[in-house]
Every structure is written in structure tokens, then in C-alpha cells.
Amino acid sequence: MSPESGDAAALLRAVPMLEGLPEEEIDNLVALSEPFAVDAGDILFEEGDAAEAVFIIASGEIESLKRLPGDRALSAARLGPGTAFGEIAMIAGVPRVATARAVTATAGVALDARAVQQLVAGSRPGARELVYRVGQEALRLLRAIVERTAQELDLDQRATQPMRAIKPAGGELVQVEPTPDEDAYLSTILFFNRFSPAQLHELFGGLRRLAAPRGTELVAEGERLDALLFVLRGAVESTVHHGRAAARMRLSGPGRIVTHLGALDDGPCPYDCRARERVLLLEAPRERLLAIRERDDAAWRLFRHGLYQDVVDAIVHADRPLTRMAAAGDGLTTSAG
């Protein structure tokens, strides 16, 4: 059964991510919604496809899959009525990070991604709030992947043994001055290359630059952070531990962000972060980041977009240990269909 527009409004209001949003925003989304219905086994989209729509399930069940060699797949999540999916790739403007397959006959509404992007690009407080909530959803997904990886580690020593962290070294994080050529350099690396020199100064002027030798522990697992760390040069590895096993969730090189979890959500940092190479970092304190939710000028819009792209990149990388574990053994896999 396909929902009519009244049903669509009720369906959207029931999505936890949209709860409490102004009526105007819900009405705007309802106006963009089209019913969809698929049969059991149908594929809604494949990993790597362009993100053309956001889906909200009214009835049925969708499975999110990561494909593996040999026509197998890792089941990443099962999604039921009232769940939105596909919104993270849409907001970040990146291809699908997983395949979506209907487990049972499933119906709901689909929102055209381009229209939603135009909608949230507006300057209304409700639009900013919606973008913020999608960002928080992405952080929740990232944290869930890290936690699942930690749980699986004990089950697959074969996959975890090679991914241990490098040996700790007794290095220290020290404050350094920005180099005279920093603006020119920043214009060549990820994330920072989207800003004009004036925007770079507005966003990052006066923030501390920190340097550390290879092997320095920057953040301990379980620590509560009060700053985002941006890698300017070198690389930081984020490693999750469980018992004696460990897995690297991400290697963050220039223009990547190290500490989303803990600095941008309410939990502790779920992994330790260590300088894999000697490293130069930029530290953005939490109080500066509060503007993500409030500010609407061009610099902060670019900042938000870059931040969510980096979170999605972190999600893609965090998926890798699980997919390798799944490929190495049969325990986590399912038929790709």
C-alpha cells in the first residue's frame, strides 16, 4: 500500500530524526515525497550508485549490505518501519556506501535527493537543524560500526592480529606556530581547499597548531574530548581495542579529521588515536564548533559540508575491518542475492 500525502506527513513526523522540527519543514518534505513500493529481494540501490533519493519505510524491512568478493555480503543493518535511510550519502554528496535490499515487500516514501539538498541549503533555522540532525545520525552510525567491530574482534583473531597499532613511543604534543606558507599549503589539501584565505582566517585563525613525533598517543580510548583535531601534515591512526585484539578504523592523512566521536557527539572517544607518522595538527575547541548548529554564512556552510563528507569517509573506512573479517570467515556473511 502506498501512503497518501496525509499518511506521508504522519510517517515523516514519526521519524525520530525529524521529531520536533518546525511544521514548515515537515510540510516542505511532504511536498517532495513520492510513494515507493518494492517486492522482497528487490534492490533499491547498489553500493557506489549516486545518492538520488532518501527513503522512509512505512511497512516492510530493508537490509543494508556491504558486498564482498565471491558474491557474498555482510549484513550491516536491518531497517524497519519509521526508519529513514540514504540520507547520509545525500547530505554529504557522496555515492552510496552500501547496497539496500528489501527483505520483505516494503513500502514508504522517497524524497528526491537534489530537491532535499536545495531545501536544506536555505537559510531557515529549520533547514540548518535538519542538516545538523543528519550529521548526528552519521555520527551515530560511525559509533555503531566502531562498537560492532570491537564486539566482533574477539571472534576473529585471524583478521585482527595484523591490524594492531604501532608500538607506543614516548612522544609529546607541543604547540607550534603556523608557518608563513600555511595558507598556500592549506589550499592544496582536502577539506581546507574549499575555503578562501579570508574564510580560513575566520574559521581557523587563532587556533592552536600542535606537533607530535611518530608514535605519540594523542587521545586514549574512553577519553572525553573537548576539541576536533584536523590533520595538516602526517597521519593519525584510530584504533579500536577489545581484549587483546585491535583493528585500525581509519588512517587520517592531511585534511582529515581525527576526533569526530567524542568532540561532536555526546559519548567518549571509542578508539585511541596515535600519530602514525610525525604529525602537525590544528585544534578546534568544542566551543568554536557550537557555531556549526547556529551560523549560516558561507564559510560555516562549507565547514558543515566538509565535516559531513569527512564523517562519511570515516564511515567508509571504519567498515573495512568488518568486511575483511566477513570475507575471511563465514560467520558474518550472507548471500548477496
User: For 296, which DSSP code?
Assistant: -
Distance between terminal CA atoms of the chain?
25
323 forms part of the interface with another protein (CB under 8 A) = yes
How many Å apart are CA 168 and CA 234, to the nearest integer?
17
Task: Give me the phi and psi of 187, to 5 degrees please.
Answer: -70, -5
Is residue 315 close enough to count as binding another protein by CB under 8 A? Answer: no
Nearer to another protein, 278 or 295 (CB): 278
By the rule CB under 8 A, 327 interacts with another protein: yes
Among 159, 228, 229, 322, binds another protein (CB under 8 A): 159
Q: What track of x and - describes contact with another protein for positions 89 through 128 (by CB under 8 A)?
A: ----------x-----------------------------
CA angle 124, 284, 137 (to 5 degrees): 50
CA torsion 79→81→87→88, rounded to 10°?
A: -30
**Which residue from 103, 189, 200, 291 is in contact with another protein, where contact means CB under 8 A?**
189
71 lines the binding site for another protein (CB under 8 A): yes
Pick the binder of another protein from 7, 42, 46, 129 (CB under 8 A). 46
Give per-residue burial for 135-166: e unless 16+ CB within 10 Å, then b: bbbbbebbbebbebbbebbeebeebbeebebe
Place of cell 578504523: 249
Between 28 and 252, whose beta carbon lies closer to another protein? 252
The three cell numbers locating residue 307: 565535516
Q: Taking contact as CB under 8 A, which single stretch among the options 9-17, 51-59, 69-77, 116-124 is the one that binds another protein?
A: 69-77
Of 194-202, 261-269, 295-303, 319-327, the window that binds another protein (rule: CB under 8 A) is: 319-327
Residues 191-220 that bind another protein (CB under 8 A): 193
Q: What is the side-by-side strand order in the sheet with 99-102?
A: 43-45, 99-102, 62-68, 72-79, 333-335
Does the protein bind another protein through residue 259 (CB under 8 A)?
A: no
C-beta closer to another protein: residue 13 or 72:
72
Q: Is 138 in the site for another protein (CB under 8 A)?
A: no
# residues near another protein by CB under 8 A: 38
CB nearer to another protein: pick between 33 and 99: 99
Measured distance CA(306)–CA(256) in Å, rounded:
10
C-beta closer to another protein: residue 98 or 141: 98
* Cα(117)–Cα(323) distance, integer angstroms: 30
Among positions 10, 42, 59, 67, the unique one binding another protein when judged by CB under 8 A:
67
Question: Does the footprint of another protein cover residue 253 (CB under 8 A)?
Answer: yes
Helix axes 298-328, 197-204, angle to 10 degrees: 80
Mask: binding to another protein, 265-284, rule CB under 8 A, as x and -?
-----------xxxx-----
Residue 225 has a CB neighbour count (10 Å cut-off) of: 19
Which residues have a Cβ under 8 Å from the Cβ of 208 and sit 6 or more positions away?
A: 175, 282, 283
Residue 324 contacts another protein per CB under 8 A: yes
Picking from 253, 312, 257, 252, the residue whose alpha carbon sits closest to that of residue 289 is 257
Q: Point out which residues bind another protein (CB under 8 A).
A: 46-48, 66-72, 99, 159, 162-164, 166-167, 188-190, 193, 231, 233-235, 248, 251, 253-255, 276-279, 320, 323-324, 327
